Amino acid sequence: MAGDIARQDSSRRFVQFRTLCILPTVDDPALLFLHIPKTAGTTLNRIIEWQYNPLSIFTIDPYRIRATAERLRTFSGERLRSLRVIRGHFYYGLHKVLPQGGTYITILRNPVARTLSSYYFIQRRPLHPLHRKVKGGRISVAEFIELTRHRQNLQCSLIAGVKSKTGADAQTLELAKDHLSKTFSVVGIAERFEESLILMAKVFGWEVPYYENHKVTKDRPPPDPAEVELIREHNHLDMELYEFGKSLFQAALEKRKAEVEEGLARLHSLEKPASLATFYNAALGAGRFLLSKVASAI
């Protein structure tokens, strides 16, 4: 009873908010950006925010406060139809709750690079649950892998839409491949980010502005060969999915070769805005980001 009242109140407040902002419902399929952690998603998110009304973007909160996948499933049909974009760290399958349907995009990354990036990222994030254990290299990469066994082969699990305490298996891999082949409009590759970005822009009609990479970490020690081999061993399913994704990516590039080359040339010709323009765009971008977060939490 209390839960029903809370959902009705949330729906009422959103309708009021949307009415004030004049946000219409549309029947075009929504875009679902399945953001795999540590795969250049932050940079892509900033670009996505310039393409759509921020009030039509539902951002799944990584800290699971209010904007969660579970809460999205409780929304009314009207509110769901008003969404143009759903993005965040979530398991495949949210398109099933959308009356307008949806199509996916994602970016895959070499599992070795992704795992090492996650290891060093946690060292820099005091709010992360594992920060105190990992801070300052208190545990090795091998110990980190052992501590996060359920997070190995994460790319397979997320794209397959399979949650399991024991991790992914061969069936998970095949399901992930099937999803990538049939329901993803673009499968990007982190190591080829600009080509991935232009491919997405061509598919969805985006205007790509001048941008800078976000959250790029420098000055890391060179990876230890033994650690690299250990990561590959514990992420062998993700390694196979990554290679499969690269083949899909290459095939998509070949189909739009001229368009992508033209888009890359234009992107590389863009000049960095002057200081005042950079400040203005950053402030405006921050506002759009916050507005989308507020709309997602209502």
Q: Domain range spanning residue 103?
A: 2-297
**Residue reference for tokens 């009207």:** 78
Give the single-character DSSP code of 98. Answer: -
- The H-or-E segment that residue 185 falls in is strand 184-189
CATH number at 155 reads 3.40.50.300
d(CA 90, CA 175): 16
pLDDT tens, residue order, the chain (298 aa)? 544 544 554 555 444 444 434 444 556 899 999 999 999 888 899 999 999 999 999 999 766 567 899 999 999 999 999 999 999 999 999 999 999 999 999 999 999 999 999 988 888 877 777 877 787 778 888 988 888 888 899 999 999 999 988 889 999 999 999 999 999 999 999 999 999 999 999 999 999 887 877 655 566 778 889 999 999 999 999 999 999 999 999 999 999 999 999 999 999 998 888 877 777 677 877 888 888 887 887 7
pTM for this model (two decimals): 0.86
**Residues 198, 128: contact at Cβ < 8 Å?**
no
Number of domains in the chain: 1
**Residues 52, 205: contact at Cβ < 8 Å?**
no
d(CA 89, CA 138): 27
